[in-house]
């Protein structure tokens, strides 16, 4: 299982220190990985201060180019030098505000994999698609367009329905189970595939989500900023094993 905290554009340097102080006394179970995704300038500190606590670090996006005249972008080479294990690609906020298209996601994921970093590719339907009952077809299509060719192991897909992100609303547990089953089926050729759920996961709804055997963890936004809640979610994942 993977419990991933997407800090988005929140928290500062001091918070890395606060988080370290809290997790110093926290027991990480080696069957459930914990990873955090702070803003780029904090990645180095996060790696330095948290790797002793067995916490993995990841980036929230990266360029689809390796280097060059791309002002403001961040290369996977830097993300790799810092020692990140993961990189989120195609989060819905990146798709919406920064034009991360399916083809960008495929190209960036291919680059990320070439540096031995595991991409966390985000997929998810809008409310309109959900209401039309087109979710499974839409997700399959996103996956076909985003997942790199020739990949045969080590991939994380985060299923994040757009209408569930930051809203406090989650799909029914049956819906989560079904979409995850669909994703696992589509990507059955990939070894070590994890399909994690994201969108309004909190310390109250997480236990029921983790009970679903097609859920391999969670991508957590808002609740990852409250460290107590984040650790409670982690503990709940351990309990399900
Ligand atoms: P949320 O965000 O947990 O605040 O809904 C999840 C995400 O955007 O990854």
Three-class HEC string of 122-159: EECCCHHHHHCCCHHHHHHHHHHHHCCCCCCEEEEEEE
132: which 2 tokens? Answer: 């039309």
Q: What is the rounded distance in angstroms from the CA atom of residue 241 to the CA atom of residue 67? A: 42
Q: Per the structure, how many domains does the chain have? A: 1
Write the CATH number for 201.
3.20.20.70
Reply yes or no on whether 100 is catalytic. Answer: no
Residue 69 CB coordination number (10 Å): 6
- Three-point CA angle 100, 63, 196, nearest 5°: 60
Reply yes or no on whether 91 is catalytic. Answer: yes
Q: 91, 93, 125, 180: which is the annotated catalytic residue?
A: 91
Domain span holding position 107: 2-227+234-239
Ligand 1 atom index nearest CA of 164? 5
Q: What is the pLDDT along the chain (241 residues), one digit of tens a residue?
A: 999 999 999 999 999 999 999 999 899 999 999 999 999 999 999 999 998 999 999 999 999 999 999 999 999 999 999 999 999 999 999 999 999 999 999 999 999 999 999 999 999 999 999 999 999 999 999 999 999 999 999 999 999 999 999 999 999 999 999 999 999 999 999 999 999 999 999 999 999 999 999 999 999 999 999 999 999 999 999 999 9
159: which 2 tokens? Answer: 């299923």
Residue 150 CB coordination number (10 Å): 6
Token look-up 């300038």 returns: 41
Q: What is the rounded distance in angstroms from the CA atom of residue 210 to the CA atom of residue 241? A: 9
Pocket of ligand 1 (CB under 6 A): 6, 160, 165-166, 198-201, 219-223
Ligand 1 atom index nearest CA of 201? 3
């Amino acid at each position: 299982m993977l419990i991933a905290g997407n800090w988005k554009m929140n928290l500062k340097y001091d918070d890395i220190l606060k988080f370290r102080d809290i997790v110093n006394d926290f027991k990480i179970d080696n069957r459930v990985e914990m990873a955090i995704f702070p803003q780029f300038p904090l990645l180095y500190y996060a790696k330095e201060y948290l790797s002793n606590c067995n916490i993995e670090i990841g980036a929230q996006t990266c360029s689809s180019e390796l280097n060059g005249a791309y002002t403001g972008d961040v290369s996977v080479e830097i993300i790799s030098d810092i020692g990140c294990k993961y990189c989120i690609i195609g989060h819905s906020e990146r798709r919406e505000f920064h034009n991360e298209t399916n083809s960008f996601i495929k190209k960036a994921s291919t680059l990320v994999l070439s540096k031995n970093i595991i991409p966390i590719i985000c997929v998810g339907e809008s409310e309109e698609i959900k209401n039309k009952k087109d979710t499974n077809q839409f997700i399959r299509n996103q996956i076909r367009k985003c997942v790199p060719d020739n990949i045969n192991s080590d991939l994380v897909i985060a299923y994040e329905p757009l209408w569930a992100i930051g809203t406090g609303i989650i799909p029914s547990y049956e819906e989560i189970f079904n979409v995850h089953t669909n994703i696992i089926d589509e990507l059955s050729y990939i070894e070590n595939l994890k399909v994690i759920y994201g969108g309004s996961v909190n310390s109250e709804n997480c236990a029921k989500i983790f009970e679903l055997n097609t859920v391999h963890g969670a991508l957590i936004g808002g609740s990852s900023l409250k460290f107590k809640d984040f650790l409670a979610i982690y503990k709940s994942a351990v309990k399900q094993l």
